[in-house]
Chains A and B, each alone.
Chain A
Amino acid sequence: MDAVLIYGLINSTTLALIAIGFSLTFGISGVFNMAYGAFYIISGFITWSLFSVLGLPYPLAVVLCIIIVACMGVATYWLVLLRIRGMLLSEAIATFGLGIAILEFLRWKGFIGFRYNLPTFIEGSINVGGNIVDYQRLCIVGIGLILVLFLWFFAHHTKIGLSLRAISQAERTALCFGIESDRSAMVSLFLGSALAVVAAVTILPLTMAHIDLGYDALMLAIVVTIVGGAGSTLGIIVASFILGYSQTLVSMYVASHWTMVVTLIAIVVALATRPSGLFGKSKELEERV
């Protein structure tokens, strides 16, 4: 039972960490960034290249990678999304195509296997109530917590955060107050991509580098966002915990093959019953007639 509690907690924070960047972008600008999974994997690749090929110190490599990938997010906005802004189908297809192009390019380059593993922050493990837990897994929980607090503070107590929330609540009214819609959408992609890097460097050291992780990350991010409700940080956390614990229970008592099936069933049930998510208040009418 202890094991379920501990691994469930770790699994839930992992989910929250993956989903938070995607949900931030979607919540603010309404852009479904389907290239999110690609940003997640490519940041693992860039960090690895900076660290192992160029030999930079690891913290510097991570910071540089955050800057590079965040700029990629901004570039995506200026070059691709700005021209098709507002056309949901086109936005989704364009970012989807871009994401697949990046992921499959990395697969072609052969970014698979142990050789590309990122180093963990702290080596070693600790014994928690009879269960051995890596320090890295504890780092996931810690970083997840810090990020959530940071985002809450950012959204409620900084000028940029408040203007971003204004845009997401009522775009036209926000425009009247002189908040620029394009710029805040750009900021949302910048932040979303940066968060993808944070998630990647925290989570990827635990597993073998694999391209399909990018598709999985996109899937999980979508599922958590849909179940929790777009743009609601509380919703993300609650949804991550529900999904994380149910995944852990299923993988412990049924079979690990079934975890993804549980996740996929969750999204279908959530969309069929509450399309705006557990905590999504807005857009109830627009999503469903």
Chain B
Amino acid sequence: MGIRYRQERIDRKVKARSDDVYALSSYREISYLLVPRVLPIIALLVLPLFLGVYWQKVLVIGCIIALLSLSWDLIASTGMICLGQALFFGVGGYFTGVLNHYLGLPIYLAIPAATLSGGAFCAILLSLALRLRGLYFGLVTFVLPMMFYRIIEATKILGGTEGLPALSRFPNTWVEMYLAIGIVLLCLFVFRRLINTDYGLVLMGIRDNDRAVMRGGINTYWFKFQALLIGSLVGAFAGAFMTHHLGFVGMSAFSLDYCILPVASTVVGGIGTFAGAALGASILVPLSEALRALGTLRIVIYSLMMTIFIVTLPEGIFHYLERRYHQFVRLVEIELEE
């Protein structure tokens, strides 16, 4: 038979590792904790200074997809699988388009108004399906963006197939970029804190065993609605932001791209950590831009990546990196009984 090995994982000997209480005794330990948190933030803030105009646009789109992924991840943390992020995206986009195009609201009023009204609209619309569980909820969300797409196509309202053109754009690309980056970082920070509070515990409890949470005397539907509202607010903001980034909103806002990319990037990055969602978006969006010359083949590549990742590395890149950062791996001999 020969000698066989198994992997053994050992925690690194830094005593600061508990969930929220740290006992740090040296700069080394402080930096052990701080570097992985602060380094990406600094990198993200410095990055725009070194990018050309084209890649700056890619950065903005990456931030928007990251927002959609964060929203997906929060909704998924509450046990709701959303296969149609394009709903939030398109509704946010069209709301701000209408406010800007027909009512002439300036951009700094249109975006917040569209975020609030669009988010509330989506959450109320989806609350009809709140009693459904698992994939059945996912199917409703998968259908709704397609439905809006077809309704706009059929009734020719809101510009029909032409969309709403010539919307106002951001006055300054630097403001636009840093606003996008700032919102992503804020969202990431708030969500990561939120999920560790008691409130987040209830949300994750609903995902893990909703009947047990109900038995605890908690109205799960109310909490699910709140999670949905937070998620759809973020999604609607992403849509509104994208609309004014492009200066245009059309039926493509409800397209399949915006349903797949957030799910794909969260799956690739790692579900349930939020940082993973942002990491996945920062990998997939530049990748899909770099492959733009290949046409629709890039969709093939990232949807295949999604399938391969969920089969071979279901935890995602972020969980994997986090584990490697906190633990040694060594091989240990095992004896086999014959």
Which of A's residues lie within 8 Å of B, judged by CB? 32, 79-80, 83-84, 88-90, 92-98, 100-101, 104-105, 107-108, 215, 219, 222-223, 226, 255, 257-258, 260-261, 264-265, 267-268, 271-272, 275, 286-289
Contact = CB atoms under 8 A, between A and B. Distances in A.
Residue among A107, A258, A264, A272 with the highest chain B CB neighbour number at 10 A: A264
Contact of B307 (A101, A104, A219, A288): A101
B214 A289 contact: yes
B303 A107 contact: no
Given A100-B260, A272-B128, A287-B133, A90 B140 contact: no
Contacts of A265: 147
B210 interface: yes
B148 to A, nearest CB: 9
Most buried by A among B83, B153, B296: B296
Given A100-B260, A264-B147, A268-B143, A289 B210 contact: yes
Contacts of A289: 131, 133, 210-211, 214, 220
A172 B175 CA distance: 60
Contact of B146 (A84, A89, A264, A287): A264
B132 interface: yes
Contacts of A32: 135
Interface extent on B, as a size class?
A: 35 or more
A159 to B, nearest CB: 30
18 contacts: A32-B135, A83-B311, A89-B138, A93-B307, A94-B310, A94-B311, A96-B303, A101-B299, A105-B300, A264-B143, A267-B139, A271-B132, A275-B132, A287-B136, A288-B131, A289-B131, A289-B214, A289-B220
The main secondary structure of chain A at its interface with chain B is: helix
A101 B304 contact: yes
A219 B300 contact: no
Contact of B299 (A88, A98, A104, A257): A104
B136 A271 contact: yes
Contacts of A272: 128-129
A261 B307 contact: no
Contacts of B311: 79-80, 83-84, 90, 94
Contacts of A264: 143-144, 146-147, 150
Among A32, A226, A275: residue with most chain B CB under 10 A: A275
Interface of B: 76, 81, 83, 128-129, 131-136, 138-140, 142-144, 146-147, 150-151, 153-154, 210-211, 214, 220, 256, 260, 263-264, 267, 294-297, 299-300, 303-307, 310-311, 314
Contacts of B307: 80, 93-95, 97-98, 101
B294 to A, nearest CB: 8
Nearest to A35: B307
A63 B128 CA distance: 45
Given A289-B133, A289-B214, A289-B220, 16 more contacts: A80-B307, A92-B81, A92-B138, A96-B83, A97-B260, A104-B303, A108-B297, A226-B139, A264-B146, A264-B147, A265-B147, A268-B143, A271-B129, A272-B129, A275-B131, A275-B136
A84 B310 contact: yes
A287 B306 contact: no
B134 to A, nearest CB: 5
A97 B256 CA distance: 12
A288 B134 CA distance: 9
B83 A92 contact: yes
A265 B210 CA distance: 28
A77 to B, nearest CB: 12
A41 to B, nearest CB: 14
Nearest to A271: B140
A104 B139 contact: no
